[in-house]
Structure 1
């Protein structure tokens, strides 16, 4: 009996020790394999970061690490190139034989050195993110912090993402956000080992990208006379002009900034619906060249859409040519959602085109439109993404489907051997309430807690193994009808986007919400230092999230 009691106490002590050690390893998203070890690596006063090869991207990763450490500690590490690490240093090494994939990495921390190994520089970058999260949270401070013991707990990590596509979306049409905020958003995407920024640049409420060949897109299409305020049902508007767009130089700057952080920027140019900002300047592309179509400040879906004329296809090809020159991304998003067919049904031109092409209804006419665009994008060596409505009337040959109206569209695409990105509204739409609406600023409605977002499983058991491979990733979507300032975007996005980051990276079997929540408690301190106004953050009360009271009918 005495021996059993001693054994029980030993087990309990061991469990407590393990739990205490685990608090030292609050990495998000959770690594695939992490072996905790005793001891720490203490950062020396004159730290050297060594890269194994003369490689620009490797050096770039080392520079980012040196910059962060220098900012927080007040002592910027030096960077060297060599086949061996400096004594008591950090070592980045490329190993093409590494079997963890392009984004996988190995991180080994001993009392003498830190080694990060990967087959590609992006793997080194993600290893660096884990290394920073192993350090005291003050490493994310924007100014030097005194009195901190700069040490890293010893461990061995072998890590790789579950999905190849791990994205975050931002709508800048309903409300426009500065280049500085977009860069901050990209920094936060990269921090959470997400690799795609889906930039929703055009919609009925504003065209936000400079196109040299069609200057009216920004001269007219980027501006609106008023904006909805308050709840949609109130149908109230302010009386204030609103506008903004990104120049091509600003776009290039953002893309280059993202590339240094291994984030791909995917542009979205909406068609054939959500096109009022196009028709405001170029009405001949719609139902009537003499019709005045204003850029709207109202939310919702509108009947004014692009017509499938040759003039329209030439316009879209011209626009996409400039877009593809700015964005080197593999994917180009063309929207394809919420396109009313009323004007097409009433158009003699559209009905004759349908008869000529053997199209049985207006859904097939939309498919005809999308196929034309898909063919053009494919001819340029790119891949087209569209919202799941592009399934209606027949899916284009090379299309990737982004499933938002539930999961059915993505699963249907996968069963047709098309790639799909899962972003169902119930789990991935971050414009929903995250707590009791009575306690929250106005949103579009619905409820999505962090726990519910974390519970999302993108690959159901109903798919075969071959079909499941076509589910290539997951994305959080941020629609900004009600998000009038950057701080409200942050409030709505975080920490739910952190949960989705773990959905995209961590194997299903290793996810457990209580464990995530413990790590999130530590992670919130990092977000505090990064000045992120997440839901529940200490700085929430500094900002006003509502519109002014003065409105007009």
Structure 2
């Protein structure tokens, strides 16, 4: 009997302990969330005595990372950590306050070990890792764990075992459409390292420009770059900067379509022989290389070899997307060639093209990668597929034996919320694939296409949402708490700013420019509740914007996934469920601010005509805020609105959904819920008026 009781008590204690550890894990703001975390109740005080040592067999880059760790710790805490200017190979004291133990140098390649172990107690912080790549991830975790109270700065006592779920955790940058200077690339790499992303995919040419220096074909940058390109020295600098942060750099030289820039310099390579000019608009265009011209393969062999020498990564991306096939169909020579060789489609012809360039890539000891259009019958198994159009091709490619990377659902340029990306899993439970086939799922990649970003705005489109994608690709599948993700994302966003990213600070500069003055409060209130049009709606018909258009307007200062509407929506939902008076007060205060803001906004228009496009949004915000206040008043009086009132407000809300300045109000839906709650229509108000109905009863 005593044994049974002891077993029961042991089980209860274990369950309580597990639950406690789970709760404690949620306290910390680590992104991505680690595989396991246990706390010990101790704390490591951060003082000016902090020293870092490295033992084992690391790569040299750990010393630069450890040195940056010391400097960042000093900047975060304000503590003078001057005694150790740099961490070097001479720093091997195992009694140092921060000890890093590494078994071997890590290789920047697929499926490398990136795991790490952290143990923190009152006397020492220990980091242990198989490779220096894992140790570098551990240092980023430590930076996120820096805490403070009235006693000073400290690291909480805990043990972390961590490892990534997927080996490919990428971000695509697209300087081909809008050029991004080297400093923008570097600060992006710093942000990537902070959230444990490990692949930078650079799209280096498109119809709008050729963006790197070719010493073999100098006309490419001379005639097809508008003077905006990376020199070979700059490319090497970017690759080295990334390597020091444990990040691979994969180049994309897109062929055979999206090659207008190449054809501007070398028109003899085109399917249709004519003079070409750089595209100034965005979209899908017809110019394409001639797959029947042997000069094309000679050209690509030399160009690809040159590129391969600049980028040491094992993967070479050939693009392969969005070939309309129109130029091929309009070429008598191509049609004759296809008939003579039994080729029945443009897709089959492109597969033949891919097979002919594959030996060039293989000769350079690279693995070919391309967008999912290249996944066609006859494509060799060792080609990596990047899926962007949907998940069907993604799972079909892994079933066919291809390694694959998912980008569908991670297109951050489409202005979708972090929650959408966060719940998009490369390997969901319902995926119809075997365990063996699942081994071909390399991971995922966020894509920051460059149509509508500039060096000033690009950070705000990448961060902090990409940190949520980073967690999806690193953490376990069951880490899916959206509310906790947003809680941690807000904190990590500030830490990213401390690294030099401009996703928060850019807004004040742009607001002052739009207002033509220092007082930006009225515009700020509006900008907080709007977002740019999503998906591909901003550039209607692909004809509203060119590469020269100003990206300094309302839709550029507005950012994706705004916090104010998200919080307001949750407040309204909770209020309608509970009738909480504190929530009611907070909601009414917010609504009064919006209702009164329009008058102040009109004053801005006197000195800033550029804001005329925002005037309808400001008016609609004021009107629907007033509507919401009326609805809350009815709820307070336990009354139902009249039919005429409801019809009038429904029309008002419908009008408020209209875009202005290529932006949309994000608080229409929660205000609609308040109207529904007092409409008296059981069908529309059943989910919004739980508390109201219960109080009437």
Same fold (TM over 0.5): yes
2:70 is matched with 66
Unaligned ranges ≥5, structure 1: 1-9, 139-146, 224-242, 434-447
Deviation at 1:322, TM superposition (A): 0.8
Give 1:453-464 correspondences, 5 Å limit: 453-460=421-428, 461-464=431-434
2:138 is matched with 127
- Partner of 2:494, secondary structure, is helix
Higher mean alpha-carbon deviation, 24-33 vs 350-359, is at: 350-359
- Do 1:365 and 1:393's aligned partners in 2 also have CA atoms closer than 8 Å? no
- Partner of 1:508, secondary structure, is coil
The CA deviation string for residues 221-248 of structure 1, in whole angstroms up to 9 with x for no partner, is 112xxxxxxxxxxxxxxxxxxx510000
Deviation at 1:355, TM superposition (A): 3.9
1:47 equivalent to 2:47? Answer no
Counterpart Cα distance in 1 of 2:258 and 2:115? 39
Higher mean alpha-carbon deviation, 128-137 vs 327-336, is at: 128-137
Counterpart Cα distance in 2 of 1:401 and 1:126? 27
1:294 is matched with 277
1:361 equivalent to 2:323? Answer no
Which of structures 1 and 2 has the bigger CA Rg?
A: 2
Give 1:308-323 correspondences, 5 Å limit: 308=291, 309-323=293-307
- Do 1:66 and 1:77's aligned partners in 2 also have CA atoms closer than 8 Å? no
If the length of structure 1 is used for normalisation, what is the TM-score?
0.83
- Partner of 1:296, secondary structure, is coil
Counterpart Cα distance in 2 of 1:14 and 1:120? 32
C-alpha spacing 1:386/1:360, structure 2 compared with 1 (3 Å): same
C-alpha spacing 1:273/1:466, structure 2 compared with 1 (3 Å): same
Counterpart Cα distance in 1 of 2:105 and 2:307? 37
Counterpart Cα distance in 2 of 1:133 and 1:326? 34
Deviation at 1:174, TM superposition (A): 1.1
The CA deviation string for residues 10-50 of structure 1, in whole angstroms up to 9 with x for no partner, is 99x99998788546521100000111221211123132211
1:250 is matched with 234
C-alpha spacing 1:180/1:383, structure 2 compared with 1 (3 Å): same
C-alpha spacing 1:77/1:34, structure 2 compared with 1 (3 Å): farther
- Do 1:276 and 1:294's aligned partners in 2 also have CA atoms closer than 8 Å? yes
Deviation at 1:81, TM superposition (A): 5.0
- Do 2:305 and 2:360's aligned partners in 1 also have CA atoms closer than 8 Å? no
1:540 equivalent to 2:551? Answer no
- Partner of 2:316, secondary structure, is strand
- Do 1:24 and 1:134's aligned partners in 2 also have CA atoms closer than 8 Å? no
Runs ≥4 in structure 1, deviation > 6 angstroms?
13-20
- Partner of 1:509, secondary structure, is coil
C-alpha spacing 1:455/1:23, structure 2 compared with 1 (3 Å): closer
If the length of structure 2 is used for normalisation, what is the TM-score?
0.66
1:443 is matched with none
Q: Which has the higher helix share?
A: 2
1:416 is matched with 400
Higher mean alpha-carbon deviation, 40-49 vs 188-197, is at: 40-49
- Count of equivalent residues: 491
1:144 is matched with none
2:247 is matched with 263
2:287 is matched with 304
- Do 2:53 and 2:96's aligned partners in 1 also have CA atoms closer than 8 Å? no
Deviation at 1:137, TM superposition (A): 8.7
Counterpart Cα distance in 2 of 1:218 and 1:80? 41
Counterpart Cα distance in 2 of 1:500 and 1:315? 38
Higher mean alpha-carbon deviation, 321-330 vs 406-415, is at: 406-415
Higher mean alpha-carbon deviation, 196-205 vs 353-362, is at: 353-362
- Do 2:457 and 2:506's aligned partners in 1 also have CA atoms closer than 8 Å? no
More relative contact order in 1 or in 2 (CA 8 Å, sep 6+)?
1
- Do 2:169 and 2:443's aligned partners in 1 also have CA atoms closer than 8 Å? yes
Unaligned ranges ≥5, structure 2: 1-12, 515-549, 554-609, 611-697
Two-structure CA RMSD over aligned residues (Å): 2.8
- Partner of 1:278, secondary structure, is helix
